[in-house]
Chains A and B, each alone.
Chain A
Amino acid sequence: MSENLSAFLYLVASICFIMALRGLSSPDTARGGNIYGIAGMVIAVLTTLFIPQVISPWLIFLGILIGGAIGSYIAWQIQMTALPQLVAAFHSLVGLAAVCVASAAFVAPEAYGIGLRGALSGTSLAEMALGLTIGAITFTGSVVAFAKLQGLVPGRPLVFPFQHPLNAALGLLMIALIILLVLTESTAVFALLVLLSLAFGFLLIVPIGGADMPVVISMLNSYSGWAACGIGFTLSNSLLIITGALVGSSGAILSYIMCRGMNRSIFNVILGGFGTAGGAAPTGPGGADRLVKSGSAEDAAFIMKNASSVIIVPGYGMAVAQAQHALREMADVLKKHGVKVSYAIHPVAGRMPGHMNVLLAEAAVSYDEVFELDEINRDFASTDVAFVIGANDVTNPAAKTDPTSPIYGMPILDVERAKTVLFVKRSMASGYAGVDNELFYRDNTMMLFGDAKKMCEDIFKALE
Chain B
Amino acid sequence: MADPASLALRAGELAGDAGTLARNLEALSQQLAVAAQQAAHAGTPFVYQLTVFVLAVFVGYYVVWRVTPALHSPLMSVTNAVSSVIIVGAMIAAGPADISFAKLMGFVAVTLAAVNIFGGFIVTQRMLQMFHRKK
Contacts and interface: CB of A to CB of B under 8 A. Distances in A.
Nearest to B56: A245
Contacts of A321: none
Given A48-B92, A250-B75, A253-B61, A40 B56 contact: no
Given A48-B87, A353-B73, 15 more contacts: A21-B67, A24-B71, A41-B121, A45-B91, A54-B94, A59-B94, A64-B110, A68-B115, A76-B122, A83-B123, A228-B86, A240-B85, A249-B60, A353-B72, A358-B127
A232 B49 CA distance: 9
B28 to A, nearest CB: 24
A368 B134 contact: yes
A63 B107 contact: yes
A243 B83 contact: yes
B64 interface: yes
Given A55-B96, A68-B117, A218 B67 contact: no
A87 B109 CA distance: 18
A15 B111 CA distance: 25
Interface in B40-97: 45-46, 49, 52-53, 56-57, 59-61, 63-97
Interface stretch (B1-9, B11-19, B31-39, B98-106): B98-106
B108 interface: yes
Interface in A108-147: 108, 111-112, 123
Interface centre among A97, A107, A361 (most CB of B within 10 A): A97
A358 B73 contact: yes
A261 B92 CA distance: 42
A241 B86 contact: no
A354 B75 contact: yes
9 contacts: A24-B78, A53-B96, A71-B119, A83-B123, A87-B76, A93-B84, A107-B100, A241-B53, A361-B130
| Interface SS, B side | helix
Given A93-B116, A107-B102, A357-B70, A101 B60 contact: no
Nearest to B88: A48
B100 to A, nearest CB: 6
Interface stretch (A27-35, A282-290, A385-393, A439-447): A27-35
Given A31-B125, A237-B88, A243 B82 contact: yes
A56 B96 contact: yes
> Which 10 residue pairs are nearest across A and B when measured between Cβ atoms?
A67-B114, A354-B72, A63-B110, A71-B118, A71-B119, A54-B95, A249-B60, A353-B72, A245-B56, A108-B102
Contacts of A53: 92, 95-96
Interface string A216-233: 011001001101110111
B61 to A, nearest CB: 5
Interface of A: 10, 13-14, 17-18, 20-22, 24-27, 30-31, 33-34, 37-38, 40-41, 44-45, 48-49, 51, 53-57, 59-60, 62-72, 74-76, 78, 80, 83, 86-87, 90-91, 93-94, 96-98, 100-101, 103-105, 107-108, 111-112, 123, 217-218, 221, 224-225, 227-229, 231-251, 253-254, 257, 345, 347, 352-355, 357-358, 361-362, 364, 366-370, 372
B110 to A, nearest CB: 3
A75 B107 CA distance: 22
A71 B133 contact: no
B75 to A, nearest CB: 5
A49 B46 CA distance: 26
B49 to A, nearest CB: 6
Contacts of B130: 80, 358, 361-362, 364
A26 B73 contact: no
Contact of A217 (B76, B78, B116, B120): B76
B114 A22 contact: no
Contacts of A48: 87-88, 91-92
B114 to A, nearest CB: 3
Nearest to A40: B82
Contacts of A247: 60, 79-80, 82-83
Nearest to B132: A366
Contacts of B105: 100-101, 103-104, 107
Contact of A246 (B60, B93, B114): B60
Interface residues of B, number: 79
A224 B113 CA distance: 12
B72 to A, nearest CB: 3
B86 A75 contact: no
A132 B15 CA distance: 58
B82 A37 contact: yes
A246 B83 CA distance: 9
A236 B123 CA distance: 31
Contacts of B59: 18, 245-246
Nearest to A69: B118
B68 A34 contact: no
A351 to B, nearest CB: 10
Nearest to A67: B114
Nearest to B120: A90
Given A86-B123, A101-B105, A372-B69, A67 B96 contact: no
Contacts of A38: 121
A75 B83 CA distance: 17
A248 B130 CA distance: 27
B89 A105 contact: yes
A97 B87 contact: yes
Contacts of A361: 127, 130-132
